[in-house]
Structure 1
Amino acid sequence: MKKEVTTMKDVAKEANVSIATVSHVINNTKNISKATRMKVMSVIEKYNYKPNYSAKTLRQQSTKTAALVISSYPDSFVTEMIFAIEERAKEMGYNLLLVNTKENNEYEEKTINLLYSNLVDGILLSPTSGDIQYLHKYTMEKFPIVMINRYEDSIKNIPRVTGDNFQLGYDATTHLVKHGHKNIGFIFTYPNVSTTADRIRGYQQALKQANLPFNEELIIQGFAHADGGADAARELLEKETKVTALFIQNDLMTIGAIDAIKKLKKSIPDDIAIIGFGEFSASHIIEPPITNVVLPPETIGKIAFDTLLNKINNPDYMSHIELPHSMTIRKSCGC
C-alpha cells in the first residue's frame, strides 16, 4: 500500500531536498537543476501530491499571532525579557505563543516546524546552540524569524537583537584586573552558545591587554541554579588555589557561589572578589552586596518584537542590533 503524502515536507523528505526546493519546483520561482526538478516531480507524481493553496493563501494574511521560542529560563534576565516581549506584543495587538525548549535542539527544530505549519506570522528565537542550520529552509522561504539574546553568524538572513556580550566580558574582567587580580575564574552555564563564547572572548582580550596569561583551567561550567553555582565555585577554588576573583554568568549561580565561598571560610571580597551578571532583586541585600554587569532585558525584548514586526512587514528587512551593558558597583568586587 502506498504511503499517502499530504504535505510538502513529505515530498521534500522523500526527494532528499529542502521544502524550499519543492516549493520552487511547484511554483517555478527559481532556477532548479533539471536533475533535481525531475526527482521532485517524480515524487509528486508517485503520490499524486497536490499543493495546499489554501494554506499558501492564509500565509499571506496576518494571523496577529507571533511565537517566542526560548531556550530556558535560567535567570531573572530572561524572565524580564519575556515579560517585555509579552507587553510589547499586547501593545501591538498580537497574541504571543511561548515555548520553552529546555535547551533541547531536536525539540526546538520540531517546534519551529510546527509553528511554521500552523501559520504564526513570525517567530522570535533564542536558540539552544549554534547548531541551527535547519533554519536555512525557512529563511529561503523568507519566513519571518528574529534571533534574540543568542545568535549564530552562519545564518545570514535572520535579524538579531542581543547584548554586546564581548564588551561585557571585557569590561567585567578589566574591572577585576584593575583591583589587582591576576587569576580570575569564569563560571558559565551553557556551552556552544554565542553569549558564553562572546563573553569568554572579552575575558581573554582583557587578560591579553593586561599582559596576563589565559588559563583555560580557570573556566568552568556549572548548572544554572544555586547548587550549580556552589558546586562550580567549590570545585574551581579547591583545584585552582591561586584564584582571587570570580566572574559568574547567572544570578542564581552567584548566590550559590557566595554560599560555597563562605563555607570554605573565605571572605568576600578580601579573599575572593565577585562580579555577577544581571541586576537580580536580591543583589543589594546579599552580604556583601553584589557588583553586576547588566544588560537591559526590557529594552532587548521590546526592540526584538519591533524587529520581528519589521521583518513581517518587509521580508527583506535586516538588522543586527547589539545593546550596551552597564555595571552596578557594590562591595563584592572590592570597591
Structure 2
Amino acid sequence: MATIKDVAKLAKVSTSTVSHVLNKTRFVSDATCQRVREAVRTLNYRPSSIARSLKGQKTRTLGMLVTTSRNPFFAEVVHAVERRCYERGYTLFLCNTEGDIHRMEANLDALEEKRVDGLLLLCSEVNDDVITLLEAERSVPIVIFDWGPESDIVDRIYDNSPYGAQLATEHLLAHGHRAIGCVTGPAGRRSAEERLAGFRTTMTEVGLPIREEWIIEGDYECEGGVRAMQQLADLHDRPSAVFVCNDMMALGMMSEAFRLGIRVPLDISLVGYDDIYIARHATPSLTTIHQPKNQLAAMAVDTLIDRLGSKRAKGKIIKIEPRLVDRESVCQLG
C-alpha cells in the first residue's frame, strides 16, 4: 500500500506539501498540485491515511520512539508514559528504533500512517539530521526526552544534570572524600557532558585538584562500569570515591570490584545516577541521584497533550530537579 512518503517522492515534494494539496490547507502552485494529484492516481494512494491533519479530527493516540537499551531507566519511563496516557484518555503506540537512524525514520512514517496526534522521542540517536527531518516533514507536536540538539519547534524535558552532579559530588565531600574520580557517559551525549561539568565545577569550587587519570569515559551500560573499575584497579594511586554518571555503570563497577576483592564502600565509595529500581537491591544498596521518572513522564505527556489544543508554535524547555538518595555505597572517612 502506498504511503504519503511514496507520493511525495514521486511528485518530488515534501510530505507536508502533499498534505496541504489534499487537504487544501495552504496555497500550493497549480503545477505542484498537478504533480501531487498525478502521483496519487498513479500510486492509488488513499487520502484517508492523512485524515488526522483535517481540522477537528483527532485520533487520541500518541506515538513514542525509544532506543533499545538494557538500562531499566528506559523501561521505567515508558511504563510511566503509558500510565499517564491512559489517565489522560490516550492510547500509546510504541516503536523501537534499535539505535538506528534509518529505522527511526521508518517508524516515524509508520506512526504518521497511524495518524498519531503527537510524538514522544526517547532516543539517544536524535541528531541534527533527524531534527531537520521533523521540522520539514512532521506537522504534529513533538516532545523530546533528555537527548538531542536544540530546536525551536520541539518541547524538551530533561533533568537538571549539572545540579545532580553537584549533589553527588557534595555528598562524597561531606563524607570526607577528597580523592574523587568520575566515570562519565559517552562523549557528545548532553547528559554525560553536563554531569561531568557539574562534577568539575564542584571540585574546583572547593579547591580540590581534578586528576584526569581518574576521569574515565563510560558507555552508560554495565560493561562500561566493569572496564572503568578494571582501569582504576590498575592504578598505583586510585581515588577513594567515584561519581558514576549512571546506575548501570555503577552496578557494573560494584560487580567487578567484588571480583577483584575491592570492597565497596570501604575501599572505594560510589554514587550513581538515575535511581533505577534495582539500585536499591544491590549489595550494598546504591547511593544515587534520583530522577523523578513518573514526573518526567507525566510532564512530557501533559505538555504534548496541552499543546494539541493550543496555538503555541515555539518549543519550550522544562527541567526536572533531581535529588540524592542516601543508601550504603558511600562510607565516612576520618
In 1: Cα distance, 2:113 partner to 2:200 partner: 43
Q: Which residue of 2 aligns with 1:265?
A: 261
- Residue 309 in 1 paired to residue 300 in 2? no
In 2: Cα distance, 1:53 partner to 1:102 partner: 30
Q: Which residue of 1 aligns with 2:191?
A: 195
Q: Which residue of 2 aligns with 1:66?
A: 62
Report if aligned partners of 1:142, 1:315 keep a CA contact under 8 Å in 2: no
Q: Which residue of 2 aligns with 1:112?
A: 108
2:32 to 19, 28, 41: 41
In 2: Cα distance, 1:19 partner to 1:172 partner: 47
TM-score, normalisation: structure 2: 0.81
SS of structure 1 residue aligned to 2:234: helix
- Residue 218 in 1 paired to residue 235 in 2? no
In 2: Cα distance, 1:300 partner to 1:146 partner: 11
In 2: Cα distance, 1:135 partner to 1:168 partner: 27
What does the per-residue CA deviation read over 1:262-288, in whole Å, with 9 as the maximum and x for residues that have no partner? 222222223211001233444445333
In 1: Cα distance, 2:115 partner to 2:216 partner: 43
AA aligned opposite 1:200: L
Structure 1 residue 234, shift from structure 2 partner: 1.5
What does the per-residue CA deviation read over 1:225-246, in whole Å, with 9 as the maximum and x for residues that have no partner? 4x44323322343257423322
Matched ranges for 1:295-306 at <5 A: 295-306=291-302
AA aligned opposite 2:268: I
Q: Which residue of 1 aligns with 2:147?
A: 150
SS of structure 1 residue aligned to 2:83: helix
Matched ranges for 1:33-182 at <5 A: 41=32, 44=35, 48-49=39-40, 53-60=47-54, 61-140=57-136, 141-153=138-150, 155-178=151-174, 179-182=176-179
Report if aligned partners of 1:245, 1:274 keep a CA contact under 8 Å in 2: yes
Structure 1 residue 221, shift from structure 2 partner: 1.7
- Shifted more, 243-252 versus 89-98: the winner is 243-252
In 2: Cα distance, 1:16 partner to 1:44 partner: 8
- Structure 1 residues 111 and 83: CA distance shift in structure 2, 3 A: same
Report if aligned partners of 2:64, 2:120 keep a CA contact under 8 Å in 1: yes
In 2: Cα distance, 1:42 partner to 1:101 partner: 34
Structure 1 residue 303, shift from structure 2 partner: 1.1
Structure 1 residue 176, shift from structure 2 partner: 2.6
In 2: Cα distance, 1:200 partner to 1:240 partner: 24
- Structure 1 residues 81 and 111: CA distance shift in structure 2, 3 A: same
Q: Which residue of 1 aligns with 2:287?
A: 291
**Structure 2 residues not aligned, in runs of 5+:** none
Q: Which residue of 2 aligns with 1:209?
A: 205
**Structure 1 residues not aligned, in runs of 5+:** none
CA RMSD of aligned residues (A): 3.3
- Structure 1 residues 285 and 121: CA distance shift in structure 2, 3 A: closer
In 1: Cα distance, 2:216 partner to 2:243 partner: 10
- Shifted more, 8-17 versus 165-174: the winner is 8-17
In 2: Cα distance, 1:175 partner to 1:82 partner: 30
TM-score, normalisation: structure 1: 0.81
SS of structure 2 residue aligned to 1:327: strand
AA aligned opposite 1:320: I
Report if aligned partners of 2:177, 2:241 keep a CA contact under 8 Å in 1: no
In 1: Cα distance, 2:16 partner to 2:213 partner: 43
SS of structure 2 residue aligned to 1:302: helix
In 2: Cα distance, 1:305 partner to 1:170 partner: 28
Structure 1 residue 29, shift from structure 2 partner: 3.5
